Structure 1
Amino acid sequence: MGTNSLTKQEDVAVAPIRAYDPFDYEIHADPYPTYAWMREHAPLYRNDERDFWAVSRYADVKDVLRNASLFSNRNGISLEPELWGPEAVKTSLFLAMDPPEHGAHRGLVGSMFTPSRVSALEQRIRDLARERLEPLRELERFDFAADYAAGLPNDVLCEMLGVPADDWDQIRADTDQLNQRADGSEERGPNSVAAALRLADYFLDLVKHMRRHPGDNVTTTMIESDVKGRKHTDPEIVAFLFLMISAGNESTGKTIGNAWYHGWLLPDVQRQGLDGRADDWVKETLRYDSASQMTARTLTRDTVIHGVDLKAGARIAALPASGNRDERVFPHADRFDLDRDTSQLISYGRGPHHCLGSALANLEMRIALEEIGAIVDSYEIDFENSRRVHSPHQRGFAALPCTVHHRARPLTPGA
């Protein structure tokens, strides 16, 4: 367990509810009491064992996300030893770059994810959602996370990348294993390592195939484009595919599951969400319990934060999920409120690294909840048999078994 240091600015003699360690399974189960303690008593928090500082208040998190010149991505955004350091670009591509290099690479595919391009995908995403729901329509019990929430964003992204449909479920299964960590461990377990190797081999074969048989997909766009006259190498494109699959699948699918979970806890939210307020259900879930919990940066020069002198090279963990619960910005922040103004949420980041796929994720999540709301009138979750993912960055469910009560007359969303 990491140790905590209070800031010099706020000398408060009070122990934390639980030390903040992003690899701790208890933090994964419920980080929010610890976040609340940090915001009030240690807005700049020190974990000596893991060697990082953490910011938890909304304003501080937003500053870290926006100020790329002071808070750099050059060592990546993950605290795991195998993903952190000057070689991070090999596994994270433009996520491990700063402007202007970052913009040059990201801009190659940015046009594929604009709101107008994404909106044109609505009917196709709705069709894919209905295909995922088809085998579930007559079932009273199924696993919402595994059978539906994780499947839809994976299907959408695989299709955009040119992955053959027969391989979609295997891609999803390996992605689910990719970021799993043992309790308190920074190291990947054998299942995670094996999944990473399978995905690397698969993506390399896909890139080689696309070079011979280009198609109308994002992978081909990366293959055919260049940055300053230089084409991307196969390993660079493989890194891009890892980035797209893991980021798109993890955050979107887990947030859909989190919405379903909070709908179970809050009957009024469930009732209104299933009856037509899917968009509000998604947006408040993004604020209240987003899958994206933490992202790391490297301090580029000596600076002072909350009265503490920090040296260049320090590792900074920014906690957007904590910032979204900051009472300074969101009154009654610990209340799930479908009528809340969510325009200030920072779940997708801010600044140059604002999530490339945010418009796509919003559309996928809304459609996912609209389509299941069209056939499900109410539901209960078998929480004792649920299972959380264990990742330092992502919060959500790997298994979320539920019992559903179908509508007597299905609705027609998006008609």
Structure 2
Amino acid sequence: MTAFDLASDASFDDPYPTYRRMRAEQPAYYCPQTSLWFVSRHRDIADALARPHMFSSSAGNALSDSPLRVGKTLGSIDPPRHDELRRIIIRGVTPARIELVLPWLRAELARRLETLQPRRQCDFVTEISRPLLFGALGRMLGLGLESARKASALSERLFRGQAGPAGPALEEEERAQVIALLTEELARRRVERDDDLFSVLIAAQTAGAPLSDAEIVANMMTVLLAGNASIGHFLPNLMHALWRHPDQRSRVTTDPALVDAAIEEAVRWDTSTQCFARTTSAPTAIAGMNIPSGARVALLYASANRDETAIADADRFDIMRGKVRHFGFGFGPHICLGASATRSMLRAILPGLLAALGDFDVDVTKAERVRHLMVRGFRSLPIAW
């Protein structure tokens, strides 16, 4: 039986050849080092996501999840409680509320580009992507300036833990610091209401919704950290894809109407959230492999998004591809709550960003990638223009 090393330098640089071999040779692959079953085919992942009763999120959807969030967040509970909680939280991420942060996002991008213009080079992650998108998330949630600064600093520790590439996103001590910070914010927001997610959840709780303080804090933490990890990595991945495909970049730059198509193709072609975990609630079979009850299963969204049996010429980056069924934002009951916010934010800034940077270049020799099985992105992406 073939062994696949998903944590090698080569795999972190480009996991897609390994995924292709897994789909062909062992589409349900057990990795004894991580005690995880990796599922890689589009049709098997679609089936699993459509059956939350069999592939449960109740033990957490991260490869290694925390007791501080399991059973309290959208990603770590099943229907019907999941659906009940989602109906409450989604009130804070309506299109109207997302629109409120877009003027700040555009203005902050313009300010940063003006500051960087004399240098004509920067680290795209630390000087543009992370502060822009983290600032927008902080405003959507309703964090105070000092809390947003502390949360941003803590977020830099994401996926750097000592437990390795299948370990928790944050060490427990750092996660506890985020919980403490958000608990303080919760107390403040009870007095200082505004038009943000914190205030929406407090109002729902006050009106009698079955929502505990621990659930409010845990879900705010998930939105803050997961949003930063996914959106914050997605934009650099998109810029990297456009740099690698200058003909596609030229099309988007000259025709802003193609921005939505570029966003959709980028999240499919180089997915920032590579996988999520589920736990089997009973014995089942995938691709001829018998998987026991209680097994931890990693659904490789990124592999499914390159599955040539579901998407024609799937390894090709093509913004003119048209609509395809991909898992860049998930699927089924747990489809990404922030998908519309991600699309709106990128739609707001991408035309101005491409116009300002023009024929930009990326120094891949100095770029640094995240080394974790759940996330694909850059810690550092030097660009010049």
Normalised to the residue count of structure 1, the TM-score between the two structures is: 0.85
- The one-letter amino acid paired with 2:197 is V
Deviation at 1:164, TM superposition (A): 2.2
Q: Are 1:159 and 2:142 matched, yes or no?
A: no
In structure 2, the partner of 1:65 is 49
User: Where in structure 2 are the equivalents of 1:147-226 lying within 5 Å?
Assistant: 147-182=127-162, 184=164, 186-187=166-167, 192=171, 195-226=174-205
In structure 1, the partner of 2:292 is 311
Are the aligned partners of 1:76 and 1:297 in contact in 2 as well (CA < 8 Å)?
Answer: yes
Are the aligned partners of 1:143 and 1:400 in contact in 2 as well (CA < 8 Å)?
Answer: yes
User: Where in structure 2 are the equivalents of 1:330-369 lying within 5 Å?
Assistant: 330-369=311-350
1:50 to 21, 24, 34: 34
Deviation at 1:218, TM superposition (A): 0.7
Query: Which string of whole-angstrom CA distances, capped at 9 and with x for unpartnered residues, describes residues 307-336 of structure 1?
Result: 222221111110111101011121111111
| Cα distance, 1:90–1:75 mapped onto 2, change above 3 Å | closer
Deviation at 1:64, TM superposition (A): 1.5
Q: Are 1:282 and 2:263 matched, yes or no?
A: yes
- The one-letter amino acid paired with 2:151 is I
* Distance of 1:285 and 1:185 partners within structure 2: 24
* Distance of 1:355 and 1:185 partners within structure 2: 23
Deviation at 1:223, TM superposition (A): 2.0
* Distance of 2:51 and 2:246 partners within structure 1: 40
Deviation at 1:391, TM superposition (A): 2.5
* Distance of 2:207 and 2:194 partners within structure 1: 23
Deviation at 1:122, TM superposition (A): 4.2
Are the aligned partners of 2:93 and 2:197 in contact in 1 as well (CA < 8 Å)?
Answer: no
Query: Which string of whole-angstrom CA distances, capped at 9 and with x for unpartnered residues, describes residues 254-273 of structure 1?
Result: 11101111222222123223
In structure 2, the partner of 1:408 is none
1:135 to 112, 115, 123: 115
Query: Which string of whole-angstrom CA distances, capped at 9 and with x for unpartnered residues, describes residues 110-146 of structure 1?
Result: 1332446545654444334334434223331111111
2:249 to 256, 270, 274: 270
Deviation at 1:73, TM superposition (A): 0.4
2:25 to 41, 60, 67: 41
Q: Are 1:19 and 2:1 matched, yes or no?
A: no
* Distance of 2:229 and 2:165 partners within structure 1: 20
Query: Which string of whole-angstrom CA distances, capped at 9 and with x for unpartnered residues, describes residues 331-377 of structure 1?
Result: 11111112112431111111111101101101112223212123122
Are the aligned partners of 1:151 and 1:169 in contact in 2 as well (CA < 8 Å)?
Answer: no
In structure 2, the partner of 1:379 is 360
Are the aligned partners of 1:44 and 1:55 in contact in 2 as well (CA < 8 Å)?
Answer: yes
SS for the counterpart of 1:150 is helix
Aligned residues: 383
In structure 2, the partner of 1:409 is none
Are the aligned partners of 1:223 and 1:231 in contact in 2 as well (CA < 8 Å)?
Answer: no
Q: Are 1:241 and 2:220 matched, yes or no?
A: yes
- The one-letter amino acid paired with 2:193 is P
| Cα distance, 1:228–1:300 mapped onto 2, change above 3 Å | farther
Are the aligned partners of 2:92 and 2:196 in contact in 1 as well (CA < 8 Å)?
Answer: no
Deviation at 1:27, TM superposition (A): 2.8
SS for the counterpart of 2:365 is helix
Deviation at 1:166, TM superposition (A): 4.8
| Cα distance, 1:39–1:92 mapped onto 2, change above 3 Å | farther
Are the aligned partners of 2:116 and 2:122 in contact in 1 as well (CA < 8 Å)?
Answer: yes
Are the aligned partners of 1:89 and 1:97 in contact in 2 as well (CA < 8 Å)?
Answer: no
* Distance of 1:365 and 1:48 partners within structure 2: 39
Are the aligned partners of 1:145 and 1:400 in contact in 2 as well (CA < 8 Å)?
Answer: yes
Are the aligned partners of 1:289 and 1:321 in contact in 2 as well (CA < 8 Å)?
Answer: yes
| Cα distance, 1:51–1:30 mapped onto 2, change above 3 Å | same
SS for the counterpart of 1:225 is helix
Deviation at 1:392, TM superposition (A): 2.6
- The one-letter amino acid paired with 2:56 is S
Normalised to the residue count of structure 2, the TM-score between the two structures is: 0.91
Greater mean alpha carbon deviation, residues 114-123 or residues 267-276 = 114-123
| Cα distance, 1:93–1:361 mapped onto 2, change above 3 Å | same
* Distance of 1:64 and 1:125 partners within structure 2: 37
Deviation at 1:101, TM superposition (A): 0.3
Deviation at 1:240, TM superposition (A): 1.2
| Cα distance, 1:317–1:227 mapped onto 2, change above 3 Å | farther
* Distance of 1:282 and 1:43 partners within structure 2: 28
In structure 2, the partner of 1:412 is none
Are the aligned partners of 1:281 and 1:338 in contact in 2 as well (CA < 8 Å)?
Answer: yes
In structure 2, the partner of 1:260 is 239
* Distance of 2:219 and 2:290 partners within structure 1: 36
| Cα distance, 1:152–1:370 mapped onto 2, change above 3 Å | same
User: Where in structure 2 are the equivalents of 1:324-335 lying within 5 Å?
Assistant: 324-335=305-316
In structure 2, the partner of 1:9 is none
2:274 to 278, 293, 303: 293
In structure 2, the partner of 1:10 is none
* Distance of 1:290 and 1:262 partners within structure 2: 11
Deviation at 1:239, TM superposition (A): 1.0
SS for the counterpart of 1:378 is coil
SS for the counterpart of 1:385 is coil
Deviation at 1:178, TM superposition (A): 2.5
| Cα distance, 1:60–1:114 mapped onto 2, change above 3 Å | farther
In structure 2, the partner of 1:31 is 15
- The one-letter amino acid paired with 2:116 is L
| Cα distance, 1:72–1:156 mapped onto 2, change above 3 Å | same
